[in-house]
Structure 1
Amino acid sequence: MSTPLPAAVLWDMDGTLVDTEPYWMAAETPLVEEYGGTWSHEQALRLVGLGLEDSARIFQDAGVRMGIADIVDHLTDDVMGQLATKGVPFRPGARDLLASLREAGIKTGLVTMSLRRMAESVVGLIDFDAFDVIVAGDDATRPKPFPDPYLQACDLLGVAPADTVAIEDSPNGLRSAVASGAAVIGVPLMVSVAGAGAHAVWPTLEGRTADDIAAFHSEHTARKGAVR
């Protein structure tokens, strides 16, 4: 491969690697209704890419009389149960791109606001050694859209953020990755990523390989150098 490789590629999980957002939404509605409230699709979309504790506070505002940790555990258990019965719905091209990166020798990290136990369960269902590190919601010093989760992943991998590529599907995730200094690709799913700062927007990961990632990172680095 003639184009220099990035030092690492950092992946969001929910909505980017796997399309679990419908699972989260299916868990949210009965929880709110159990306490006499209502929960709309529009309200659910507000939570896409948001840290779980921040999401839990929104559920408390919607009338759910549970502690923040209890809400997070309840929703996580529900989604993990759905994953166990329905399987892991990878986004188109995501698994193949991840495999291509590993074959090229590029380090990979999973940077998610889901709890570590859920992230590990998803990673455990991938049939190859997919990630070098995981930074989960209960690991992050501050949640997305703060840059902390991506900076923590870079530190664990021993790489500079500017030498990495991040892949995200939500505005909050994109803002986190951009603020870290990574080169960032938006792959929208349920919400628009317009105005969130992505350096490129790919409609799908289908057909993408490590070559495409390397070319994107090289072009991004060249553009940054040209404006200095």
Structure 2
Amino acid sequence: MSAPRLSAVLWDMDGTLVDTEPYWMAAETPLVERFGGTWSHEQALGLVGLGLEDSARIFQDAGVRMGVRDIIDHLTDDVMGQLTDKGVPFRPGARELLASLRAAGIKTGLVTMSMRRMADTVVDLIDFEAFDVVIAGDESTRPKPFPDPYLQACEALGVSPDETVAIEDSPNGLRSAVASGAAVIGVPLMVSIAGAGAHAVWSTLEGRTAEDVASFHAAHHANRHTTTEETRP
């Protein structure tokens, strides 16, 4: 059986495409403190890559006396305000790699646990048509680390998971992408991704091109095929 070709690259947003994690953390601390609680950097790191509803319940456990949806809306509004005031901090090489993929005719999807209105804000600030599809946190059937968001993106793009590469920065995101059947590149930022299942780890996207992603995808499936052949009884 021939190896699948690379048809699409699926991107996480917060921490992978854009370095917005500090914006989220800056929104979280005053929210908890408003209700008399405390919020540590370690607690904030524990939310990286987690679905917004799960995060909101953690804030409730920390003493925030608001409904889940109200917490999500409050944090999203705060982060969007910071994006307006401070700009969108794209991670090094991310925009350039996106442009390279588009030029190569490879489909792209954004798979994020942020709300759709925030994802649209970020996408609209990219100066070219960067994504064929966006799957946001308020649209996924189940959040990361379940595979649903990535499977939904594949369905929307009309590709199978083994035709895709996913790029992620968090353990939850990596587990979601790996479970979907994609070939997965981890690009760590704020938290360790050791043991989360990434098929390759790149320290940065800077200098990377569509050719690099395609080569990784081909090598990943060649290695899988070789391993299968070697272990077949």
CA–CA distance in 2 between the matches of 1:29 and 1:172? 22
Paired residue secondary structure (2:175): helix
Contact 1:115/1:138, CA 8 A, preserved across alignment: yes
Distance 1:117 1:206 in 2: 28
**Aligned letter for 2:135?**
V
Asked if 1:108 corresponds to 2:147, the answer is: no
Matches within 5 A, 1:45-124: 45-124=45-124
**What secondary structure sits across from 1:227 in the alignment?**
helix
| Partners of 2:63 and 2:48 in 1: CA distance | 20
Alignment of 1:163 onto 2:128:
no
Which aligned segments of 4 or more residues in structure 1 are displaced greater than 4 angstroms?
A: none
Aligned residue number for residue 217 of structure 2: 217
Partner SS, residue 155 of structure 2: helix
Q: What is the CA deviation profile of residues 11-44 of structure 1, one whole-angstrom value per residue up to 9, with x for unaligned ones?
A: 0000000000000000000000000000000000
1:169 and 1:5 map into 2 onto residues whose CA distance is 24
Give the match for residue 17 of structure 1. Answer: 17
Displacement of 1:227: 1.3
Aligned residues: 225
Tell me the secondary structure at the aligned position of residue 17 of structure 2: coil
Alpha-carbon shift at residue 96 of structure 1 (Å): 0.3
For residues 120 and 225 of structure 2, the distance between their equivalents in structure 1, rounded to whole angstroms, comes to 38
| Pairwise CA RMSD | 0.7
User: How far apart, in 2, do the equivalents of 1:7 and 1:210 lie?
Assistant: 11
- Distance in 2 separating the partners of 1:150 and 1:46: 22
Query: Following the alignment from structure 1 to structure 2, what is the Cα–Cα distance between the partners of residues 178 and 84?
Result: 33
**How far apart, CA to CA, are the structure 2 residues paired with 1:66 and 1:21?**
22
Query: How high is the TM-score relative to the length of structure 1?
Result: 0.98
Report the secondary structure of 1:134's partner residue: strand
Identify if the C-alpha distance between structure 1 residues 98 and 205 changes in structure 2 by more than 3 Å, giving closer, same or farther: same
TM-score, with structure 2 as normaliser: 0.96
**Structure 1 residue 141, shift from structure 2 partner:** 0.2
Match of 2:181 in 1: 181
**Which amino acid in 2 is paired with 1:84?**
T
The residue aligned with 1:28 is 28
CA distance in 1, matches of 2:173, 2:5: 23
Give the drift of 1:124: 0.3
Gaps of 5+ in 2: 229-233
Give the 3-state SS of the residue equivalent to 2:66 in structure 1.
Answer: coil
Contact 1:5/1:106 (<8 A) preserved: no
Displacement of 1:5 in angstroms is 5.4
CA contact (8 A) 1:170 1:191 kept: yes
SS across alignment from 1:9? strand
- Distance in 2, matches of 1:108 and 1:41, equals 33
In the alignment, what sits opposite 1:199? 199
Question: Structure 2: how far apart are the matches of 1:149 and 1:163?
Answer: 16
